């Protein structure tokens, strides 16, 4: 699961980023790419601008799932950022070399979006066992 946010203010408010990094990132238009593994958030990298961040999420996903013949479920969730979600969908379809059985775009609920803020976009994939 990978996601990016539009403004680090919300992650700072949720206690996931410090005030200095939030201020600098917002000033320079850096968008973090964060992964969720075992219930913990891990920063992957930062990209300048939302388009670059979404492109990198698509590339990371395609690279990570190259060994799989089929992806059983792929979801894109967004917090009031449908245009960004549709852009990510098109980039994922361009970069993925595997078949996707179920592809859905949905909205992030209020509990999670209270921590990520408006403009957050998330991609989650469940691959078929390659063996």
- Over residues 48-72, the pLDDT tens digits come to 999 999 999 999 988 888 877 777 7
- State both tokens at 60: 């990371």
pLDDT under 70 in the chain at which residues? Answer: 10, 26, 129-131
pTM: 0.84
What is the reported pLDDT for 7?
80
What is the reported pLDDT for 71?
78
Each domain of the chain, given as residue ranges in start order, spans: 2-127
Q: Are 73 and 128 a contacting pair, CB within 8 Å?
A: no
Going by CATH, does the domain composed of 2-127 fall within 3.30.1180.10?
yes
Q: Are 47 and 30 a contacting pair, CB within 8 Å?
A: yes
């Amino acid at each position: 699961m990978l996601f990016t946010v539009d403004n680090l203010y919300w992650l700072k408010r949720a206690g996931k980023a410090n005030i200095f990094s939030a201020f600098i990132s917002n000033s320079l238009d850096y968008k973090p790419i964060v992964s969720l593994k075992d219930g913990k958030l891990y920063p992957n990298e930062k990209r300048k601008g939302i388009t670059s961040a979404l492109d990198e999420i698509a590339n990371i996903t395609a690279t990570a799932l190259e060994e799989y013949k089929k992806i059983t479920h792929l979801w894109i969730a967004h917090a009031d950022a449908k245009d960004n979600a549709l852009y990510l969908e098109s980039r994922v379809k361009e970069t993925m070399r595997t078949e996707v059985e179920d592809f859905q775009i949905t909205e992030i609920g209020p509990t999670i979006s209270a921590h990520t803020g408006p403009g957050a976009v998330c991609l989650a994939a469940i691959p078929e066992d390659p063996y």
